[in-house]
């Protein structure tokens, strides 16, 4: 069908709303509560338009198109209504920086965000660079407020893992409440209180963990203000680079959009906002990668202590202890967290260089550990915490390629630091058996290298430079020449995104929550017992 938009005839489809048609046709109507990934709410009243035959100024996001509709979006009357509504929104938002006439000079002098415990203006707001309220204020040229703004003056909620909520900044647009309802069967965000006490939050002041939040982060992604913020990323400025890659925590293989600065990832979120992703992909990656416990340098055991050495010295030591144990006395143990290329290198090393059939790839990282080694094995190379310390202590040679120190690692003769997750490039196999590309987004800590690079280095040190070179070339060609694509068109959300008990708990044999402290709170919510919850219900004065 056709509708007339500001005098121009444009095509519209059955069931679309006026705002969708306008945005698709390149006509920008100011909007705050509308977001393309969820149904319209019609709460903010910013997208008002004039439509022939309809009284007043209907909200374009909740008005379904009809054939022949005549819509005007830019008349002076429409702009006035929008401006008035925005002013009303700004009155309950700390908006002094928005209407400050020195803001350009201030911006020029201090373009970065300034950290603050409680945000009282844009200058110290974590959303400074990406604020939709700010953008509309400029667009609608609001430079003053009819009266002074009202500051709610409540304590920001900083007790939840991963997410901070400052109700003082909330404009009650309802996006968070709506997306939570849209994404999950039992939403955890509700509107509480009335009038000046209205909040988008949790009933009875429960924490997010208590309400059963899955920490998919969709609410944070959609918040147009700084009210909901991601704790880790909060005070980082604009990223130097953004990447699109695949999450390697599990074989759901969610597509991620990743923010990086100075080689460090500080935020990762679902690329496709139409569906939620799990807490591991959304929130834990920066904590996991930037943990201070990461292994950063090759180490070898000298007497009873581990000494940091160069890669050459580490390879030399590994060669010395592995060479006498070629054949069935050697085993390689890894799980499926590594890229396809890493596992190809490991298998080649085991079978062709060491001449052993004991290439052990753990199917499921959860229950398979600790692994029982085949009889007769006296040397083992591992990529994680898969074999218990006692077993390792009884072996003649242990070479570890790992990212974190472990108790079992104490038995290693050679400990090599590995790059993991977003520090690696290659492919992973998703649950349907399709290869998905992984893009290197972050610099590995210290001298850490990706597994296949380490293995090629070791093969070379063991005297087979030709094979090492050939394998490295083969892997490089596989990575470069691949036509694998990132999955974005999935039909349903992965299970761990909907049920937090289904998230993967181990990566390379390490318990993820041990490396990401806030995850412990998610998994063991400091929940109110049923009795406590009931007693609170009976004392609620609102109902």
Partner 1 sequence: MFRVLGNRKVTPNAHEMIVEAPEVARKAQAGQFALLMVNEHSERIPYTLSDWDKEAGSVTFIVLEVGKSTSDFVRLQPGDEVAHVTGPLGMPLEVDNFGTVALIGGCYGLGGVVPVGRTMKAAGNRVITFVEARMEGMHYYLDKYESFSDEVVQTTTDGSNGIKGHGVDILEARLKEGVQVDRVFAVGCPFMMMITAQLTQPYEIKTFAALNPIMLDGTGMCGACRCTVGEETKFACVDGPFFDAHLVDWHELRDRRAAYIRIERDVCK
Residues at the contact surface with partner 1, assessed by CB under 8 A: 94-97, 99-100, 102, 105-106, 109-110, 112, 114-121, 124, 144-145, 147-149, 151, 153, 168, 231-232, 234-236, 262, 287, 290
- Crossing angle for the helix pair 340-348 and 451-461, to the nearest 10 degrees: 20
**Which of 441, 516, 508, 521 is closest to 280 using CA atoms?**
516
Identify which of residues 83 and 502 has a Cβ nearer to partner 1 in the complex.
Answer: 83
Residue 79 Cβ vs partner 1, minimum distance, rounded to whole Å = 22
Q: Are 90 and 142 in contact (CB under 8 A)?
A: yes
C-beta neighbour count of 377 within 10 angstroms = 19
What DSSP string describes 199-223?
Answer: EEE-GGG--HHHHT-----HHHHH-
Identify which of residues 168 and 406 has a Cβ nearer to partner 1 in the complex.
Answer: 168
Residue 229 Cβ vs partner 1, minimum distance, rounded to whole Å = 11
Identify which of residues 106 and 320 has a Cβ nearer to partner 1 in the complex.
Answer: 106
CA–CA distance, 288 with 514 (Å, rounded to integer): 9
Residue 179 Cβ vs partner 1, minimum distance, rounded to whole Å = 24
Residue 234 Cβ vs partner 1, minimum distance, rounded to whole Å = 7
Q: Are 439 and 243 in contact (CB under 8 A)?
A: yes
Residue 520 Cβ vs partner 1, minimum distance, rounded to whole Å = 15
- DSSP β-ladder status, 379-382 and 255-261: unpaired
Residue 506 Cβ vs partner 1, minimum distance, rounded to whole Å = 23
Residue 8 Cβ vs partner 1, minimum distance, rounded to whole Å = 39
Identify which of residues 53 and 148 has a Cβ nearer to partner 1 in the complex.
Answer: 148
Residue 151 Cβ vs partner 1, minimum distance, rounded to whole Å = 6
Q: Are 226 and 233 in contact (CB under 8 A)?
A: no
Task: Please name the residue ranges forming H helices in 258-411.
Answer: 279, 285-289, 311-322, 340-348, 389-393
Q: Are 484 and 331 in contact (CB under 8 A)?
A: no
Residue 464 Cβ vs partner 1, minimum distance, rounded to whole Å = 42
The 8-class DSSP code of residue 261 comes to E
CA–CA distance, 43 with 195 (Å, rounded to integer): 15
Residue 166 Cβ vs partner 1, minimum distance, rounded to whole Å = 10
Identify which of residues 6 and 96 has a Cβ nearer to partner 1 in the complex.
Answer: 96
Identify which of residues 104 and 483 has a Cβ nearer to partner 1 in the complex.
Answer: 104
**438: β partners:** 426
Task: Please name the residue ranges forming H helices in 171-297.
Answer: 175-183, 208-211, 218-222, 279, 285-289
522 class by beta-carbon count within 10 Å (0-12 exposed, 13-18 middle, 19+ buried): buried
Identify which of residues 107 and 242 has a Cβ nearer to partner 1 in the complex.
Answer: 107
Identify which of residues 114 and 466 has a Cβ nearer to partner 1 in the complex.
Answer: 114
Tell me the two tokens of residue 511: 């318990």
What separation, in Å, do the N-terminal and C-terminal C-alpha atoms of the chain show? 47
The 8-class DSSP code of residue 135 comes to H
In a 3-state reduction of DSSP, which class is residue 485? coil
Identify which of residues 3 and 97 has a Cβ nearer to partner 1 in the complex.
Answer: 97
| Peptide bond between residue 239 and the one before it cis (omega within 30 degrees of 0) | no
Burial state string for 445-483 with b = 16 or more CB within 10 A and e = fewer than 16: bebbbbbbbbbbbbbbbbebeebbeebbeebeebbeeee
Residue 255 Cβ vs partner 1, minimum distance, rounded to whole Å = 24
Tell me the two tokens of residue 444: 């590995």
**Which of 347, 381, 385 is closest to 366 using CA atoms?**
385
Identify which of residues 232 and 315 has a Cβ nearer to partner 1 in the complex.
Answer: 232
Identify which of residues 63 and 119 has a Cβ nearer to partner 1 in the complex.
Answer: 119
Identify which of residues 232 and 311 has a Cβ nearer to partner 1 in the complex.
Answer: 232
Q: Are 461 and 286 in contact (CB under 8 A)?
A: no
Residue 250 Cβ vs partner 1, minimum distance, rounded to whole Å = 24
């Amino acid at each position: 069908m056709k509708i007339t938009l500001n005098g121009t005839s444009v095509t519209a489809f059955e069931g679309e709303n006026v705002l969708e048609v306008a945005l698709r046709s390149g006509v920008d109507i100011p909007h705050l509560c509308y977001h393309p990934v969820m149904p319209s709410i019609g709460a903010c009243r910013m997208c008002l338009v004039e439509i022939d035959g309809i009284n007043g100024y209907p909200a374009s996001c909740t008005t379904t198109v009809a054939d022949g509709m005549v819509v005007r979006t830019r008349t002076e009357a429409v702009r006035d209504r929008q401006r008035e509504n925005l002013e009303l929104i700004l009155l309950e938002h700390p908006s002094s920086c928005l209407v400050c006439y020195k803001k350009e000079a201030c911006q020029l002098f201090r373009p970065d965000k300034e950290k603050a415990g409680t945000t009282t203006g844009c200058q110290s707001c974590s959303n400074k660079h990406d604020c939709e309220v700010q953008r509309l204020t400029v667009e609608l040229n609001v430079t003053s407020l009819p009266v002074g703004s009202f500051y709610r003056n409540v304590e920001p909620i900083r007790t939840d893992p991963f997410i901070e909520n400052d109700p003082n900044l909330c404009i009650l647009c309802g996006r968070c409440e709506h997306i939570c309802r849209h994404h999950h069967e039992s939403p955890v965000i509700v509107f509480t209180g009335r009038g000046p006490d209205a909040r988008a939050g949790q009933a009875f002041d429960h924490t997010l963990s208590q309400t059963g939040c899955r920490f998919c982060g969709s609410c944070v992604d959609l918040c147009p203000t700084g009210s909901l913020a991601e704790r880790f990323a909060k005070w980082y400025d604009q990223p130097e680079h953004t990447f699109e890659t695949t999450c390697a925590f599990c074989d759901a293989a969610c597509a991620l959009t990743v923010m990086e600065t100075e080689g460090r990832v500080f935020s990762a979120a679902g690329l496709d906002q139409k569906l939620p992703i799990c807490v591991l992909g959304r929130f834990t990656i920066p904590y996991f990668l930037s943990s201070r416990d990461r292994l950063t340098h090759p180490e070898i055991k000298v007497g009873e202590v581990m000494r940091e050495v160069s890669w050459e010295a580490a390879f030399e030591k590994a060669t010395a202890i592995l060479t006498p144990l070629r054949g069935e006395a050697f085993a390689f143990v890894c799980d499926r967290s590594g890229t396809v290329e890493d596992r190809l290198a490991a298998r080649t090393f085991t079978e062709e260089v060491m001449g052993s059939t004991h290439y052990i790839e753990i199917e499921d990282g959860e229950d398979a550990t600790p692994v029982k080694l085949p009889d007769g094995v006296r040397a083992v190379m591992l990529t994680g915490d898969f074999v218990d310390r006692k077993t390792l202590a009884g072996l003649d040679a242990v070479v570890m390629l790992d990212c974190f120190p472990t108790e079992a690692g104490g038995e290693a003769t050679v400990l090599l630091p590995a790059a993991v997750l977003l520090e690696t490039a290659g492919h992973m196999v998703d649950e349907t058996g399709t290869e998905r590309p992984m893009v290197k987004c972050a610099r590995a800590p210290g001298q850490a290298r990706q597994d296949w690079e380490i293995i090629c280095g070791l093969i070379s040190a063991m005297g087979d430079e030709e094979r090492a070179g050939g394998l490295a070339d083969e892997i490089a060609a596989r990575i470069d020449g691949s036509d694998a694509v990132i999955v974005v068109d999935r039909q349903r959300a992965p299970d761990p995104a909907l049920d937090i008990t289904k998230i993967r708990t181990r990566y390379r044999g390490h318990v993820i929550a041990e490396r990401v402290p806030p995850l412990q709170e998610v998994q063991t919510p400091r929940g109110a017992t049923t009795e406590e919850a009931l007693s609170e219900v009976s004392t609620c004065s609102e109902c």
